[in-house]
Amino acid sequence: MKIYTSVIFVSLVATLLACGSGKSQKEQGSVVVMHSAETQRLLSALKNISSQGVMFGHHDDTNYGIGWEGEKGRSDVKSVCGDYPAVASFDLGGIELKDSMNLDKVPFSKIKKEILNQYLRGGLVTLSWHLRNPKTGGNAWDVSDATVVKSILPGGTAYPKFVGWLDGVATFMNSLKTKAGTKIPVLFRPWHEHTGSWFWWGAELCTPADYKMLWRITVDSLRAKGVDNVLYAYSTGTEPQDTAQYLERYPGDDLIDVIGFDNYQFKRENFLAAMQRELSIIDSIGRTHHKVIALTETGYEGIPDPEWWTKTLWPSIDKYPIAYLLVWRNAREKPTHFFAPYPGQVSASDFVKFYQIPKTLFAKDVNLYK
């Protein structure tokens, strides 16, 4: 427990020492939350963006796509509609092991370049973290041991290892800078889809109290390392049936900036029902807790419906003030595993119609840092 206490202490001391240094601070209970001025500007922009529309995002959009990889400036989305997504998403899985590439074989050096490119376009960067299982050595989906979360909390056998992993994340976040030295703000979304149990941090594998502690250790550790360019997103699956269930594992307003959920289409009727239920839940919570709301992951694998964008996705979200929606990746190693269209794909022409809706926002429509 001494190590964890010192982390909190260092975090608070670092925050207090930042007074007068141009950093934004706000009191929330007994905790001081610190963001750089640029990060606070991003948060303010996200709170206001829904008055203009909803930003479209795509995971690994500029890293690879169907039939290509690593080509400078290329994007399946841009190839279809002529514009980049307003939201670029990347994954940090593998950084905890000090690997040179993430779990999808993208070099972290390339991810850093694309984060800078997205920032210069004025768009949002969001980062997920499909980290390894610190107890078994398996991947994020290794749920063979139900004590993993407990093992990385203070006093647990894997706690020192986990603290080291967080140090690696902090180093990466602090390295995200422009040539002029401005730290690039990003939205960090760890521990997602925790209301299911397919990740080792899932609902059946840890208690609500342990899950909340996991979040607090994560954020306090990063803050203690001087990470002031990160906003934090809490995102469930579609399991919550009401606000009480959604908030059961919510770690606290002092830690979280954005709330959302992940919802993929398998059966259309189930997708639409879950969309309306979860959007209603986060809309209500967002208003009462003063949080940005978002559809943090969505999509229809292979997009076999030629009018999915305008006849299914858009009608399901257009009445809610979400800041952004994010579809998952177009895997170059799995030709049928894609969630955004590419030239010639059956839904490509409908996606252009989706792009032309005034309230759908792409890179040319936003500048979150002005």
Q: Given a cut of 70, is residue 26 above it in pLDDT?
A: no
pLDDT in tens, 109-151: 999 999 999 999 999 999 999 999 999 999 999 999 999 999 9
Query: Are the CB atoms for 255 and 285 separated by under 8 Å?
Result: no
User: Tell me, what's the pLDDT at 29?
Assistant: 42
Distance of CA 77 to the CA centre of its chain: 19
Rounded mean pLDDT, 310-329: 98
User: Tell me, what's the pLDDT at 85?
Assistant: 99
User: Tell me, what's the pLDDT at 302?
Assistant: 98
User: Tell me, what's the pLDDT at 84?
Assistant: 98
User: Tell me, what's the pLDDT at 300?
Assistant: 98
Match 């902090």 to its residue by tokens.
170
Q: Given a cut of 90, is residue 264 above it in pLDDT?
A: yes
Query: Are the CB atoms for 106 and 90 separated by under 8 Å?
Result: yes
Lowest mean per-residue pLDDT among 13-22, 115-124, 222-231, 250-259? 13-22
Residue 345: pLDDT band with limits 50, 70, 90: very high
Rounded mean pLDDT, 46-68: 97
Q: Given a cut of 60, is residue 312 above it in pLDDT?
A: yes
Q: To the nearest 10°, report the CA torsion of 11, 19, 230, 279.
A: 100
Residue 246: pLDDT band with limits 50, 70, 90: very high
Token pair in block for residue 126: 């969001």
User: Tell me, what's the pLDDT at 19?
Assistant: 37
User: Tell me, what's the pLDDT at 30?
Assistant: 41
DSSP designation for 205: G
What the chain holds in terms of domains, given with CATH numbers, is: 40-365 (3.20.20.80)
Which of 337, 271, 311, 245 has its CA nearest to residue 60? 337
Distance of CA 312 to the CA centre of its chain: 23
DSSP secondary structure, 59-118, as one string: ETTTTEETTEES-TT--HHHHHHSS-BSEEEEE-TTGGGT-SB-TTS-BHHHHHHHHHHH
Q: Is 182 exposed, middle or buried (0-12, 13-18, 19+ CB in 10 A)?
A: middle
Q: What percent of the chain has pLDDT over 70?
A: 91
- Name the average pLDDT for the chain: 93
User: Tell me, what's the pLDDT at 34?
Assistant: 78
Q: Given a cut of 80, is residue 86 above it in pLDDT?
A: yes
Token pair in block for residue 10: 């260092």
pLDDT in tens, 191-205: 999 999 999 999 999
Rounded mean pLDDT, 342-356: 98
Q: Given a cut of 70, is residue 78 above it in pLDDT?
A: yes
Packing angle, helices 2-17 and 159-174, rounded to 10: 20
> Could you tell me which residues are beta bridge partners of residue 33?
26
User: Tell me, what's the pLDDT at 228?
Assistant: 98
Distance of CA 74 to the CA centre of its chain: 22
Q: In this structure, what are the phi and psi dihedrals at residue 231, rounded to the nearest 5 degrees?
A: -100, 155
Residues 6+ apart with CB under 8 A from 303: 338, 339, 340, 341, 345, 346, 347
User: Tell me, what's the pLDDT at 366?
Assistant: 98
